[in-house]
Structures are given as structure tokens and as C-alpha cells.
């Protein structure tokens, strides 16, 4: 059941993303920024956790989930450490994913060569 | 010429083909769904076989997905998937990884410091900036409205 | 003055003596595959970057054109060239190896007729006897400069065009046999506010219409074939519409290089080809052979350029269009 819900919820979030791309015809970077900020807002109001309960990875894998983690990390740390926690909480919570992207990205750049014609 | 900036827009719209939205949406749904499904399978494997708690498994899943995406980008396959899957390959964390790895790879020929390293955040930088910024705001607000 | 309206009249003979075209793999599989002089198999051609591949195409096109016609540097007065990259890198770096007096010009995708028009005027003015005009574009180098990294996943919009990987060198001379350049019209920049970098055809179409209209009005020549550079399906449709509305329909004898060079459906190029190499490669192979075989006697050849700057675009500017016309007669 979790697998079905992951597929459905993840698919739906991507479908919304596709509608945004096709309607506004903007660079993908706009979509990514929008997703993360929206995830943050939903996370702040505690709404996104409800979606995670239903959709599991379908909700955590899309960038909305990244935004949600950011917000939750910042809020939890802020409760413990105040201002400094608000500053660092989100960064700490999401650091593995970001560091992985950076480091893997560099390794890939060292090993592979860019491909041209599609 | 009888056209000006105002009435030319109409002509452009008339001749510009629309994106195949229905087909794109279906593909985005399928690709996005499958990527999330793979995430769930990885997540479950961590929990079931390695006995890792649910909370810890989630970031590990992200790391694995990022790794897979980085590899596919390096092999030049991710853009081919992206061509079919559209937002289905952009919105998941794998799309974020792709947006980090692709400039890193492409600017390799300008050197590893000022090419790869300097351009690695070309597309992901905005995402992180706005992500961190809004999380900071969320943290502050949570302190105010405790 | 050798001028009628805005069009320059080339009174003396300016002959297009020969051409040499090199194109990439994808272009080599298109409808014109047998017409090109050389097709390269991959996007690097033994070089270690796409930019170096592009300049190698340009250099080789000129060298092979020279060898084919036993031309030596002493006989060539001038090299006029341009391309799409910043600082017209490919042209300047190719010229470095060619050791010819060099004028580099930038006209975006309109470069082919811009260089040929300038060359024709210099020869007609008696300043030169033999001039080589060359231009090039490369899908990968253009894409990364103007848009996004190629490995970035995502979809191209239906209105996007495919930059042609290709180069053409053209030999202009004041003697010998071949089609002659009779009229040159340098267009003015027309900008109707299109800001969408994925819709260059629409950005250039008004400029193409303006230059074509000017040229036809000035010269009054009844052309067999009118060809624009890289408007693609969208721009071609708009130009046709504009002429039809003025009751001067050119539809029956009008075509666009961007729709000739690729099989638009099968090769998945969306709105068609674009880039300096598009009009250059189509003229240097397909159209030039038609002129030589007398299949067409009077050709109006117009390269169209979108003077798009990613920086200006981000600052909210629109994309200015330009088109230069050459009246070529056998």
C-alpha cells in the first residue's frame, strides 16, 4: 500500500510541476525554487507532515519534502537554541543531501566527459 | 508594417504551437511516481534489512537517490529521461542533483576550480538560497508564535 | 551612387565561385545529406571541447575550399567571418591559423549574408579581387552559452529551434564563372517585443519581413525562389501572413533554411533549425547547386538573426531581430 501511495502522491506533485512549467514557460530553476519555498511554508504550518503520512516517499522525495525538512529542522533547533538554531537548523537537517550532490557532482565531473548531441 | 509591440503578441500566439500538456502531464506523473516509488523501496530496504529507524532512513534514501542521479547525469542518460519525463524528473530530489551535476560536468573544460567548482551552484544556488532563507524565517516565526 | 532606396546595387561582376560546407552528424542525416561536402561523425571531431570543434570546422572549411580551387593566400585579399559565440571566438581563432587579413563581424544567425554582402561591396568597390566569407555554429557550444547545460534534464519547448552544427566557406571573386550577387540590402533592426528565448522565429520574423519587403520594393526583381535563414516553422508562417495581408503573397516561392535542413517531424527539432550554420550550410550546398544547375535563376537569399543577449534578456529586454538580403542571379 505504501508503494502505491508513494507512486500516486509523488506522481501528483510532479504533475503539478509539469503544469507550472508548461503554463509559465520558465526556466526549471524557477520551478525548483518555488517547490522548496512552498515546501517550507507547508512545513511551517505542519501541513506537509500530514501528506508525508499518506504518501511516504511520494512526499519526501520531491523537492517539497526538501523544503519541509528545512522548515522542520529550523523550527526544532529554534525551539532548543533560539536564534542560532533558527539559522542553522534547516541547513543541518538537509546537509547530507546537499553535500552528497556537491561531492558526487564533483566526482562525476572528474570521471565523465560532457555529452553533446541528444 | 502594421504591427507593433501590442498587436504582434497575438500573431505570435497564433503561430506558436502549444506544448503537449496532456501527454507531458501523464509522463510527469509516471516518471515522478516511479522515482518516488524507488525512493520508498530504498527507504523500506534500509528499515527492513539494516534495522535503521524511519527517521534516519529518509536522509539516507535522499543520498542514494542523489548518487543514482549523479551517475545517470554523468553517463548522459538523465537528460534523455528528462526529455520524456519533464517535471517528473525535475521535481524529485534527483532533479536537484541533476541541476548540481550538469553544470559541474559541463564546465569541466574550463578547469576544476573556476570551471566545475565555480559553476556547480549555477542552478542549485537559487534553490539553496531561497530554501535556507525561508527555513530561517520559519525558525524565527516559530520562536515568536510558540 | 550605386544605390536604389535602401538597396545597394552591385554593378560589376561579383561571382560566387565556389562553396565548401561541413556539417555535424544530425544535419548529415537530414534531407540534404548528400549535398554537403563533409559530414563529421561526432560533436568533438577529435578536439577536446565543442568550441574547439567549431573553430576547426571553420578553419577546415576555408582550407578545403582553398585546396579544392588551388587558391593560395597571396591571391586572397580578405577573410570575413563571424559566429555566435562571445568575442566571435571561432572566427578569430580560425583566422589566427589561416593567416589572412581578417574582418570579424557579429550578426548572430544573419552572419552569412552579412559577410557576403560586405564582401560583394568591397569587390564591387575595387578594393579586393578575392574574398572568402565564412561562418559557423555548433549546437553544443551555442546551447551552453545561450541556454542551459546540456546534461540538465528537461524538455525543450515546442517553439524552440535546433542550432545547426555546421560551417560554410564561400569564395567571392571578380572574375570567373558562377552565380552573381546583384543586389545587397542590409536590414534594420526590428524588435516587436518578443522576449521568449525559446521562440526565436517569432522574434526574427518582423525583421525578415521588413528587409524582404524593402528589397523587393527597391529592386522590383521577380525572384524564382525566396529563402530566409532560420525562421523555422513559426517565423515562416508569420512572414507569409504578413505578406498575404499586404496582398503581396510570396507563399508559392518562399521557403526557409531552418525547415529545409532538417526533417522536422522525424528529427525532433521542434520548430526547425537555427544558427549561423543553418543558412550557411543550406546555401553552400543545396541552393548553390541549384543555381549552378540553372534550376533557379534568381534567388533572394536572406539570413535572419536574433540579436539575443542572455544578460539583456534577464534585465527584461526583448530580442531584436535583423535580416540581410542578397539578390543572386545566374
Give the tens place of pLDDT for each residue, B84-127. 999 999 999 999 999 999 999 999 999 999 999 999 999 899 99
Four-way CATH pick for C13-173: 3.90.1490.10, 3.10.290.10, 3.90.1580.10, 3.40.47.40: 3.40.47.40
pLDDT at residue number C209: 97
Indicate the residue of B8, B15, B102 with minimum beta-carbon distance to C152: B102
Contact C153 B85 (CB under 8 A): yes
Q: Is residue B29 part of a domain?
A: yes
For the record, the C-alpha cell of B144 comes out as 515568536
- Containing C227, the helix (H) or strand (E) segment is strand C225-228
With an 8 Å Cβ cutoff, the interface of chain C facing chain A consists of: 24-26, 42-44, 50, 139-140, 148-152, 154-155, 157, 165, 196, 198
- C251-263 burial, b at 16+ Cβ within 10 Å, e below that, comes to eeebebbbbbbbe
Distance CA B138, CA C276 (A): 50
Q: Which three cell numbers stand for residue C189?
A: 533592426
Q: Is residue A116 part of a domain?
A: no
Low-confidence ranges of chain C (pLDDT < 50): none
| Phi, psi torsion values for A16, nearest 5 degrees | -60, -45
Residue C309 has which C-alpha cell?
A: 543577449
Of C43, C152, C196, the CB nearest to A117: C43
Q: Is residue B15 part of a domain?
A: no
Q: Would you call C206 an interface residue with chain B, using a CB distance cutoff of 8 Å?
A: yes
Please tell me if residue A28 touches chain C, with a CB cutoff of 8 Å.
yes
SS3 call for B72: helix
What is the per-residue pLDDT across B16-45, written as a single tens digit (0 to 9) for each? 988 888 999 999 999 999 999 999 999 999
Subunits next to B (3 or more Cβ pairs <8 Å) are: A, C
User: Could you tell me the three cell numbers for C136?
Assistant: 559557423
Is beta strand C298-306 parallel, antiparallel or unpaired with respect to C225-228? parallel
Regarding the domain with residue range C180-329, which homologous superfamily does it belong to in the CATH classification? Answer: Stage V sporulation protein AD (3.40.47.40)
The count of structural domains within chain B is 1
Query: For residue B44, what are the domain limits?
Result: 20-144
A1 grid coordinates: 500500500
List, for residues B40-68, the tens digit of each pLDDT value.
Answer: 999 999 999 988 888 889 999 999 999 99
**Is residue B6 in a domain?**
no
Whether residues C151 and B76 touch (CB distance < 8 A) is answered with yes
**Helix, strand or coil, per DSSP, at residue A62:** strand
Report which of A44, A39, A20 is spatially closest to residue A30, judged by C-alpha positions.
A20
What's C257's DSSP letter?
A: H
> Would you give the distance in Å from CA C90 to the centre of its chain?
15
Q: How many CB atoms lie within 10 A of CB C174?
A: 17
**pLDDT given for residue A117 in this prediction:** 61
- Residue C153's pLDDT is what? 83
Q: By the CB < 8 Å criterion, does B47 face chain A?
A: no
Residue boundaries of the structural domains of chain C: 13-173, 180-329
Give Cα C28 to chain centroid, integer Å.
17
Give the Cα separation of A15 and A26 in Å (integer). 16
Q: What pLDDT score does C151 carry?
A: 86
| Paired residues of C83 in beta bridges | C136
Domain hosting A16: range is 2-111
| Neighbour count for residue C192 (Cβ, 10 Å) | 23
Instruction: Name the closest residue on chain C to residue B83, using Cα atoms.
Output: C155
What values do phi and psi take at C3, rounded to 5? Answer: -155, 140
Whether C150 and A25 lie within 8 Å, measured CB to CB = no
Closest chain C residue to A22, measured at CA: C157
Beta-carbon contacts of residue C301 (< 8 Å; ≥ 6 apart): C113, C227, C279, C283, C287, C325, C326, C328
Instruction: Measure in Å the smallest separation between the Cα of A104 and chain B Cα atoms.
Output: 6
List b or e across C129-161, with b for residues whose CB sees 16 or more CB atoms inside 10 angstroms: ebbbbbbbbbbbbbbbebbbbbbbbbbbbbbbb
Task: Report if residue B10 sits inside a domain.
Answer: no
Residue by residue, pLDDT tens for chain A (118 residues) are 889 999 999 999 999 999 999 888 778 889 999 999 999 999 999 999 999 999 999 999 999 999 999 999 999 999 999 999 999 999 999 999 999 999 999 999 999 999 876 4
Say whether residue B30 is in contact with chain A using an 8 A CB cutoff. Answer: yes
pLDDT at C112: 97
Report yes or no on B61 lying in a domain.
yes
From the list B18, B79, B105, the residue facing C153 with the nearest CB is: B79
Q: Which residue of C lies nearest to A31 if distances are taken between CA atoms?
A: C154
**E strand or H helix that includes residue B125:** helix B124-144
Task: Quote the CA–CA distance of C186 and C111 in Å, as a whole number.
Answer: 11
Instruction: Provide the grid cell at B135.
Output: 527555513
Chain C partners of B85 at a C-beta cutoff of 8 Å?
153
Q: What is the model's pLDDT at position C227?
A: 97
Nearest CB to B138 within list A11, A44, A65: A44
Helix (H/G/I), strand (E/B), else coil: B123: coil
Contact C212, C325 (CB under 8 A): yes
The confidence score (pLDDT) of residue A83 equals 94
Q: What are phi and psi of C323, to 5 degrees?
A: -150, 135
pLDDT at B19: 82
Q: How far is C299 from chain A (nearest CA, A)?
A: 33
Helix (H, G, I), strand (E, B) or coil at C274: strand
**Burial class for C103, CB neighbours closer than 10 Å (0-12, 13-18, 19+):** middle
Cell of A33: 525554487
pLDDT at A115 (0 to 100): 84
| C-alpha cell read off for B1 | 508594417
Report the C-alpha gap between B44 and C296 in whole angstroms: 70
CA distance C12 to C175: 10
Q: Return the sign of the alpha-carbon dihedral for residues A6, B26, B98, B68.
A: positive
**Best to test chain B binding among C149, C197, C314 (most B CBs inside 10 Å):** C149
**Element housing C171 (H / E):** strand C166-173
Q: Quick check: C238 and B86 CB within 8 A?
A: no
* CB pair distance less than 8 Å for A62 and B93: yes
Give domain status of residue B25, yes or no.
yes
The three cell numbers locating residue C50: 565543442
d(CA B75, CA A115): 8
Q: How many domains does chain A have?
A: 1
Amino acid at each position: 500500500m505504501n508503494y502505491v501511495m508513494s507512486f500516486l502522491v509523488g506522481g501528483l506533485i510532479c504533475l503539478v510541476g509539469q503544469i507550472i512549467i508548461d503554463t509559465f514557460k520558465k526556466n526549471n530553476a524557477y520551478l525548483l525554487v518555488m517547490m522548496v519555498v512552498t515546501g517550507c511554508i507547508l512545513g511551517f504550518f505542519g501541513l506537509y507532515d500530514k501528506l508525508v503520512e499518506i504518501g511516504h516517499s511520494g512526499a519526501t522525495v520531491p523537492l517539497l519534502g526538501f523544503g519541509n525538512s528545512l522548515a522542520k529542522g529550523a523550527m526544532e533547533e529554534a525551539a532548543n537554541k533560539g536564534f542560532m538554531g533558527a539559522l542553522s537548523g534547516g541547513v543541518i537537517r538537509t546537509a547530507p543531501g546537499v553535500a552528497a550532490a556537491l561531492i558526487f557532482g564533483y566526482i562525476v565531473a572528474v570521471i565523465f566527459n560532457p555529452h553533446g548531441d541528444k | 508594417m502594421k504591427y507593433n509591440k501590442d498587436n504582434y503578441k497575438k500573431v505570435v500566439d497564433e503561430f506558436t504551437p502549444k506544448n503537449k500538456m496532456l501527454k507531458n502531464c501523464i509522463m510527469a506523473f509516471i516518471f515522478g511516481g516511479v522515482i518516488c516509488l524507488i525512493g520508498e523501496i530504498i527507504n523500506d530496504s534500509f528499515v527492513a534489512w539494516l534495522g535503521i529507524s524511519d527517521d534516519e532512513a529518509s536522509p539516507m534514501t535522499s543520498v542514494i537517490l542523489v548518487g543514482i542521479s549523479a551517475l545517470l547525469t554523468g553517463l548522459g542518460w538523465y537528460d534523455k529521461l528528462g526529455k520524456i519525463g519533464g517535471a517528473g524528473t525535475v521535481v524529485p530530489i534527483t532533479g536537484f542533483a541533476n541541476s548540481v551535476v550538469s553544470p559541474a560536468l559541463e564546465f569541466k573544460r574550463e578547469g576544476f576550480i573556476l570551471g566545475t567548482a565555480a559553476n556547480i551552484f549555477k542552478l542549485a544556488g537559487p534553490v539553496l538560497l531561497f530554501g535556507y532563507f525561508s527555513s530561517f524565517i520559519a525558525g524565527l516565526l516559530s520562536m515568536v508564535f510558540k | 551612387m550605386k544605390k536604389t532606396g535602401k538597396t545597394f546595387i552591385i554593378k560589376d561582376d561579383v561571382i560566387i565561385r565556389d562553396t565548401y560546407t561541413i556539417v555535424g552528424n544530425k544535419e548529415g542525416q537530414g534531407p540534404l545529406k548528400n549535398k554537403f561536402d563533409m559530414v563529421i561523425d561526432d560533436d568533438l571531431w577529435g578536439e577536446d571541447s565543442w568550441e574547439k570543434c567549431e573553430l576547426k570546422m571553420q578553419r577546415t572549411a576555408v582550407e578545403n575550399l582553398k585546396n579544392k580551387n588551388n587558391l593560395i593566400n597571396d591571391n586572397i585579399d580578405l577573410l570575413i567571418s563571424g559566429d555566435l559565440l562571445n568575442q566571435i571566438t571561432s572566427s578569430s581563432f580560425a583566422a589566427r591559423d589561416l593567416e589572412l587579413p581578417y574582418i570579424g563581424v557579429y550578426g548572430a544567425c544573419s552572419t552569412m549574408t552579412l559577410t557576403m554582402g560586405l564582401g560583394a561591396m568591397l569587390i564591387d568597390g575595387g578594393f579586393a579581387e578575392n574574398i572568402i566569407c565564412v561562418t559557423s555554429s555548433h549546437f553544443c557550444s551555442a546551447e551552453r552559452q545561450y541556454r542551459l547545460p546540456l546534461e540538465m534534464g528537461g524538455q525543450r519547448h515546442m517553439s524552440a529551434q535546433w542550432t545547426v552544427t555546421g560551417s560554410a566557406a564561400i569564395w567571392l571573386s571578380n572574375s570567373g564563372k558562377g552565380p552573381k550577387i546583384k543586389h545587397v540590402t542590409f536590414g534594420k533592426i526590428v524588435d516587436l517585443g518578443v522576449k521568449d528565448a525559446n521562440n526565436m522565429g517569432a522574434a526574427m520574423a518582423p525583421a525578415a519581413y521588413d528587409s524582404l519587403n524593402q528589397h523587393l520594393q527597391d529592386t522590383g526583381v521577380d525572384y524564382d525562389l525566396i529563402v530566409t535563414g532560420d525562421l523555422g516553422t513559426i517565423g515562416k508562417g508569420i512572414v507569409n501572413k504578413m505578406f498575404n495581408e499586404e496582398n503581396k503573397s510570396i507563399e508559392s516561392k518562399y521557403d526557409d533554411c531552418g525547415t529545409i535542413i532538417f526533417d522536422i517531424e522525424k528529427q525532433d527539432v521542434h520548430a526547425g533549425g537555427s544558427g549561423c550554420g543553418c543558412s550557411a550550410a543550406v546555401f553552400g550546398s543545396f541552393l548553390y547547386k541549384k543555381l549552378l544547375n540553372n534550376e533557379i535563376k534568381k534567388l533572394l537569399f536572406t539570413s535572419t538573426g536574433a540579436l539575443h543577449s542572455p544578460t539583456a534578456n534577464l534585465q527584461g529586454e526583448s530580442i531584436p531581430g535583423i535580416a540581410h538580403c542578397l539578390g543572386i542571379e545566374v
